[in-house]
Amino acid sequence: MSLPLVTLDGVVGAISVYAHAKDAFDDEAAELGELFAGPAAIAVQNAQLLAKAKRVAASLQSVLSKRAVIDQAVGIVMSRADCTADEAFDRLHQLSQTRNTKLSVVARSLVDEAVRRARARHSGG
C-alpha cells in the first residue's frame, strides 16, 4: 500500500507499506494509513524547510565571511595606494579579472600577505 504525503504545497513524498500476505490491506488499513500520512507529510515538509534554512544560513555565513575579507583588503589597498574605498575595490576587482580568480580569493591572498609582513616586522625578521 502506498500513500501520498500531501501538504498545502503539494506532494512531498509517499509512505509505502509492504505485507507478505495477498490483499493484506483492506479499507480500514487504508483509512488508518491516511491518518498517519497527514502528520508524516507535515514532518517531511518541516524537515525539508529546516534543511533549506540551514543551507541558506551556511551560504549567508560564507558570504559574510568573504565580505569581511574583501573589506579588509579594500582597507589595505586604501592605505597603500592612498585612494578611496571605491577606487580600492575597483583595483581589487581589476586584479581579480586579470588573474581570472574570484575576488574573495584575491582579497584573502592580499590580507594574508599583509599579515605575514606585519608579523615579520614585529618579530624583527
pLDDT of the residue at 125: 58
At 117, which CATH number? 1.10.10.10
- Helix 85-99 and helix 27-81: axis angle, to 10°? 110
Q: Give dist(CA 104, CA 89) in Å, integer.
A: 11
Round the CA-based radius of gyration of the chain to a whole number and report it: 28
Binned at pLDDT 50, 70 and 90, residue 84 comes out as: very high
Domain extent, residue 62, equals 2-123
Q: What is the pTM of this model?
A: 0.62
What are 32-47's pLDDT values in tens digits? 999 999 999 999 999 9
Q: Give dist(CA 44, CA 50) in Å, integer.
A: 10
pLDDT of the residue at 123: 84
The CA–CA distances, whole Å, from 14 to 44, 83, 89 equal 10, 61, 51
Rounded average pLDDT over 106-123: 94
Cell of 118: 606585519
- Range 11-17 contact pairs with CB under 8 angstroms and sequence separation of 24 or more: 12/41, 12/44, 12/45, 12/48, 13/40, 13/41, 13/44, 15/40
Cell of 16: 509505502
The residue count of the chain comes to 125
pLDDT of the residue at 33: 94
Q: What is the mean pLDDT of the chain?
A: 94
pLDDT at 60 over 80: yes
pLDDT at 59 over 80: yes
Indicate the range of 57-61, 74-78, 103-107, 120-124 predicted with least confidence.
Answer: 120-124
For the chain, what is the domain count? 1
